[in-house]
Amino acid sequence: MKIALPILNTNNGQSIGPSFGRTSHFMIYDTLTKQSNVIENTAMELQGGAGIRAAQIIIDLQVNVLICPQCGENAEVLLKKANVSIYRNNGTDIFENINLLIQNKLNSLDDIHPGFHHSR
Amino acid sequence: MKIAVLSGKGGTGKTLCAVNLTAVSPGSIYVDCDIEEPDGHLFFKPKTIQSEKVTVFFPKINALLCNGCRKCVYFCRFNALAMVHNCITVFPEVCHACGGCAIICPVLAISDGKLEIGVIDDGTVSAIRIISGTLNPGRESGVPIINKMAKMIENTQDLVFIDCPPGSSCATVESIRIADFCILVTEPTRFGAHDLEMVHELIISENKPCAAILNKIDSSDDPSETYCIEKGIPIMGKIPYDPELGRINSEGLVAAWEKESYKIQFAKILSRIIEEASHETVANPKR
């Protein structure tokens, strides 16, 4: 199983970031190999549709589960189509959340927001 | 001559002025470009209306032809297209209808699905032509509707009044594009003066001549008038704060058609505008 998390680089190391589409990096963790890999989110700087592009990146990496605090509705539509499950993180510690997910202790993210799309 | 009526702030009296200036100009054309809330037709109540739907490009994917190359996905700067399981998903709210994806597709799998975004009603009342655009709820941009209305009147020799949307965004810019002259309707508030400045800067950047009508004038200081004087914007008329005018207007009636004094008031303003605008056209023939 491949898990994706939006991550934030802080003074105390890395933690789960507050945003999905506009996060600077994603961590991809593979439960089979127990390997983690940090990738840049090239969607971050996009003028619009960052959530859509970020979801495309996650989907193309064959991720099965996304752990994040919030997700926009366009991204959710795509992730759902690709059968990516979305779970809400509990706290911001990356590996604690991965363990909670494996123990089936995370709740699915069901309050999808309509997006923060600015008008043209 | 095409005269755009705009204000920046909403509620200063754009429609009041545009409607009543039109009402004292038989044979003229009134164009409601306030496509999010067109209300000029409520005053004129035009008859024999012809309606035309306005559609914009919308990518329609032929899944049988699509080879999964993703050129469209990476071409779209708004990210309105994505690919899951070798199928293209389109996000209608994100699409800006540029049509680029259909051009870039090497296997011609994308065609125009024609998305309806609104309607243009074209009617008449008392020898006045009323053109009114309405954007469907939930659609982001009504610019294609405004452009289509502009096309309908671009070659007319008749006097045209363009009732512009509030603000100074794309819809306003498009509304004044075919105008020969701009009329700024102001109100004596700081908010009104602030937005007047924004829209005045827009008019300068679009290189359009302009003049102002000061609306809702009372005995207090008028920051909008101060701005006009500072910037040398000619004042075509002052409409006093008048509860009766407000009442007639709120009942959806055309003040100039209801009462002789209002007819005279707006006819006076109109003749000043025509005089001012023709000076401008003579001074700047390129316009």
The residue of A52, A57, A60, A118 whose CB has the most chain B CBs within 10 angstroms, and thus the best one to mutate to test that interface, is A52
Residue A67's DSSP bridge partners are A87
For chains A and B, count residue pairs whose Cβ atoms are closer than 8 Å. Answer: 50
pLDDT score at A117 = 62
Residue B139 — very low, low, confident or very high, per pLDDT cuts 50/70/90? Answer: confident
Query: Chain A contacts of B140, Cβ < 8 Å?
Result: 119-120
In chain B the domains, ranked by start, together with CATH numbers, are 2-54+120-283 (3.40.50.300), 58-113 (3.30.70.20)
What pLDDT does residue A13 have? Answer: 84
pLDDT tens for B141-155 read: 899 999 999 999 999
pLDDT on residue B35: 96
Residue B283 has pLDDT above 80, yes or no: no
Confidence of residue B247 (pLDDT cuts 50, 70, 90): very high
Instruction: Report ipTM for this prediction.
Output: 0.84
Residue B1 makes CB contacts below 8 A (sequence gap 6+) with: B159, B160, B180, B181, B274, B277, B278, B281
Q: For A34-49, how does the pLDDT look when each residue is reduced to its tens digit (9 = 90+)?
A: 999 999 999 998 888 9
> Which pLDDT tens digit goes with each residue over B2-30?
999 999 999 999 999 999 999 999 999 99
pLDDT value at residue B285:
54
Query: What helix, strand, coil percent values describe chain B, rounded to 5?
Result: 35, 25, 35
Q: For residues A95-109, give the mean pLDDT.
A: 92
A96: Cβ contacts below 8 Å, ≥ 6 apart: A90
CATH number of A2-102: 3.30.420.130
pLDDT value of position A110: 77
Q: Is pLDDT at B271 greater than 60 in this prediction?
A: yes
With cut-offs at 50, 70 and 90, classify the pLDDT of residue B284: low
What is the 3-state composition of chain A as percent helix, strand, coil, each rounded to the nearest 5? 25, 30, 50
Reported as a pLDDT band with limits 50, 70 and 90, residue A120 is very low
Interior/surface letters B125-142, b for 16+ CB within 10 angstroms, e for the rest: beebbbbbbbbeeebebb
Which pLDDT score is estimated for A9? 85
Q: Do A77 and B94 touch (CB under 8 A)?
A: no
Instruction: Identify the closest residue of chain B to A48 by CA–CA distance.
Output: B78
Domain boundaries, chain A: 2-102
Tens digits of residue pLDDT in B52-65 = 999 999 999 999 99
Cα gap B101→B80, rounded to integer Å: 10
How far apart CA B27 and CA B195 sit, in angstroms, is: 32
pLDDT in tens, B82-96: 999 889 999 988 898
